[in-house]
Amino acid sequence: MVAVMENIVKRYKAHTALDHMNLTIQPGETLGLLGPNGAGKTTAIRVLTGLTGADAGNTRLFGAEMRGAALAVKRRIGVVPQDLALYEALSARDNLNYFGRLYGIRGAELKKRVDEVLEVLGLSDVAGKAPKKFSGGMKRRLNIGCAIIHKPELLILDEPTVGIDPQSRNHILDFVEGMTKQGTTVLYTSHYMEEVERVCSRVLIMDAGHVIADGTVEDLTKAAIFEESVTLEVRENAPGLCESVKKVQGVQRCEADGRSLSVTSAAGSQNLARILECAAPYIILSVAAKRPTLEDAFLALTGKKLRDTGGEGQ
Amino acid sequence: MNAFFATFKVGFKFLWKSPVSVAILIAFPIMLIFILGSALSGYISADIELDPVPVAVAAEEGGAFRSFLQNPDIAPFFDLTYTSRAEAAALSEKGDVVCAVVEREDGSLEVLSPPGSGFSARIALSVFDSYQRVGAAFAIRGPEGGDIPGFSVEDMPLGKRVPNATDYYAVTMLVMILLYTGTNGTELFHKGMLSDTGSRAQTAPVTKPVLIGGLLAASTVTSFLQGMVTFVFTGVVYGVYWGERIPLVLLTLFAVVLFSQAFCIFLLLLFRSPGAVNGTVQAIFWVMTFVSGGYTKVSFGAADAVFQYVPNAMAHTVIFGSIYGGNEAKMGLYLAILFGLGLVFYIASFLLGRRRLA
Ligand SMILES: Nc1ncnc2c1ncn2[C@@H]1O[C@H](COP(=O)(O)OP(=O)(O)O)[C@@H](O)[C@H]1O
Ligand SMILES: [Mg+2]
């Protein structure tokens, strides 16, 4: 087990940021930590990395108790903080050099690693420039670079794509997938479910300081969503169609409204092809199938929308 | 060690690229050009001309000492009362004069000063005191209240320059500049420890003392170097006389740097915002410079006894003393207090930080 948090409680005065939080990270997996702003994701990372002590519970990283001074363990993790954590007036290279040296890398090896990281993140051309002159996306990439200079076994990213353009976001997501392929264990925090759905092999959904669901994206959506719906539109009225559709496995309801047909099935039925087979004799004008997403799962679990709890960046 | 030097280096670069610190570096010397320029042009010096030092003298008419005192290089510094030995002693006792100089039968001189304070101790009482009286100190200097054996005109250090307004302001302004460089410490400590960048550094396999040590070393060295720019600048451009005991002057300046770094970091841990600290020290250091006579001549009556322990006042006293001569014991004490204050604020910061950085 790469990381374990057991029943962690963390209070800020009267406010309980983590309320019996549990988490395990398996070697090699990309674990998504999904939750709205204020759910406690950042706090969980601060506790996990020893930046903050917990009021109760245990944290272990690579089998060792995590305390502020667990240097041998710290060497094996890389943390990309939610907010930019750079020396903005110093060059990108200076920043990478600094964080590299903090991990004990030096000399020719440091230079080689810095060049590699600049290359991977597409920052080679601006190595000598100060990040304060960078675009948001470039700053985010450098923010990541400073966490991977020492080739961590566990990479923790706290909302690494907040507030950037789609291209940079794609670059970062590709990069995370690349890290996973190389065998790095990743903890990826986000409140964008598309990202988590794309890069994560397993997802924890967090709300109000603890984990409310744990599983693969598929598991979670299946477990949380009870129905899927398909809407068909045909050219002429098709009186018998509803009856035959109802016979398809998984279909629970079918309602015809003129030339439009609403079909509701049990979650995970995967019966769209069969429904279309039934409709094959007719001319189909449009098909709209709504696949359940993590967003739906979250809504079903908490009664809240993921993103309606505040703006970006917190 | 690698991590310490890496932190030192990054902190050093941070400060030399930070607008605040560059402003200190550039704005202060410009301010000095203005102030010292005014002082040189007589605009300021008119206000702080040396007051003649009241001294009672009991000496043989037509003797060597009287003719020495009539020397035009010296005479303006004194407000002399020629009187009898007994009367001179009484005036000194009452404090009407800063000291009485009595010529003995054998021609040697005895300096009688008010109880509990040798003449040189009086010099050190306040900066303005010292400014006004350093001139006199050339003429009458010796062990506290004791003899000046083998007195002769040639032995008097008249070859040394008498301080003018520029020399005076160079000292008080440099001390003030070094106090303000404490904000270097605030900026860097905030960035390197308390900000998100600092948090990230703390996720690295480095202990807090190494990080903090690297940052403090960087801000201390930077601040001291910034002070040195002014030090050299005043010496070269204005010909300010920094005396013959440069190491002691530099040690005092260093003590001021340590104190201001420690004080500012303490405030940072208290307020958590560099902006709040900067605002506070702007006010505090201004008042401190004012009460210790940094800008203009002020006396606070009974409060002067307390204000002599204001850090700038102590630094002024030690520096003036080392340049023009002063009470060594007092200088040593003040220097020790200055270093002690730095230590006290570092310890207080450590205790506060242990709670705040937990
Ligand atoms: N230093 C702090 N002091 C007080 N409250 C805090 C602090 N840090 C976080 N919180 C509170 O704890 C809760 C969880 O915050 P956080 O972990 O940042 O959530 P997330 O990262 O999921 O958005 C929030 O309600 C936040 O206001
Ligand atoms: Mg967060």
The answer to whether position B231 is within a domain reads yes
- How many residues are there in chain A? 314
CB-count exposure of residue A173 (10 Å: 0-12, 13-18, 19+): middle
Q: Give me the pLDDT at residue B108, please.
A: 65
Enclosing domain of residue B58: 50-134
pTM to 2 decimal places: 0.76
* CATH classification of the domain holding A285: 3.30.70.100
* Residues B178 and B267 occupy one common structural domain: yes
Task: Kindly report the CATH number assigned to the domain that includes residue B125.
Answer: 3.40.190.10
Which chain B residues are closer than 8 Å to A82 by Cβ?
196
- Out of A84, A89, A146, whose CB is closest to B14? A89
Containing structural domain, residue A270:
227-291
Cα B94 to chain center, whole Å? 29
Whether residues A210 and A245 fall in one domain: no
- pLDDT, tens only, B346-355: 999 988 887 7
- With a cut of 60, say whether residue B262 has pLDDT above it: yes
Within a domain: residue A93?
Answer: yes
Same domain (yes/no): A54, A181: yes
- Domain check: are B127 and B218 in the same one? no
What pLDDT sits at residue B125?
A: 28
The number of distinct structural domains making up chain B is 2
- Of B111, B134, B157, the position where a domain reaches its end is B134
Q: Same domain for A233 and A206?
A: no
Shared domain check, A163 and A87: yes
Q: Looking at the structure, do residues B340 and B224 belong to the same domain, yes or no?
A: yes
| pLDDT tens, residue by residue, A45-68 | 999 998 888 899 999 998 887 765
Q: Is residue B150 part of a domain?
A: no
- Asked if A143 and A186 sit in the same domain, the reply is yes
pLDDT higher at B120 or B263: B263
Per mean pLDDT, which range of A43-47, A67-71, B97-101, B198-202 is the poorest?
A67-71
Name the domain count of chain A.
Answer: 2
Shortest alpha-carbon distance between residue A274 and chain B (Å): 54
CA angle A151, A156, A159 (to 5 degrees): 130
* Contact flag B204-A51 (C-beta cutoff 8 Å): no
A271 shares a domain with A145: no
Q: What is the mean pLDDT of residues A230-238?
A: 85
- Which of A161, A187, A222 marks a domain boundary? A222
Q: Do residue B206 and residue B70 come from a single domain?
A: no
Placement of tokens 């291209």 in the chain:
A167
Report the CATH number that the domain containing residue A128 is assigned in CATH: 3.40.50.300
Whether A16 and A145 share a structural domain: yes
**Do B169 and B86 fall within a single domain?**
no
The answer to whether position A141 is within a domain reads yes
Is residue B195 domain-resident?
A: yes
Does residue B154 lie in a domain region? no
Please tell me whether residues A17 and A33 are part of one structural domain: yes
Q: Which residues contact B136 (CB under 8 A, 6 or more apart)?
A: B53, B55, B77, B78, B98
A32 and A85 in a single domain? The answer is: yes
Query: Do residues A79 and A209 share a domain?
Result: yes
Q: In the structure, what pLDDT confidence band is assigned to residue A310 with cuts at 50, 70 and 90? A: very low
Phi-psi sector, B99: left (phi>0), alpha (psi -120 to 50), beta: beta
Distance from chain centroid for Cα A240: 45
The rounded mean pLDDT for chain A is 87
CB contact under 8 A, A97 and B6: yes
B157 lies in some domain: no
Measured from the CA of A159, which atom of ligand 1 is nearest?
21
Q: Which amino acid is at B262?
A: A
Q: Are both B28 and B105 inside the same structural domain?
A: no
Asked if the structure places residue B90 within a domain, the reply is yes
d(CA B3, CA B206): 7
pLDDT value at B54 more than 90: no
Are B303 and B154 in contact, with CB atoms under 8 Å apart? no
CB contact under 8 Å between A83 and B191, yes or no, is no
- A83–chain B nearest CA distance, Å: 7
Element (H, E) at A210: strand A210-215
Query: With bands split at pLDDT 50, 70 and 90, how would you rate the model's confidence at A185?
Result: very high
Mark whether A36 and A82 lie in a shared domain: yes
* Residue of B131, B138, B133, B167 whose CA lies nearest to B48: B131
Residue A79 touches partner B, C-beta closer than 8 Å: yes
Q: Is A51 an interface residue toward B (CB < 8 Å)?
A: yes
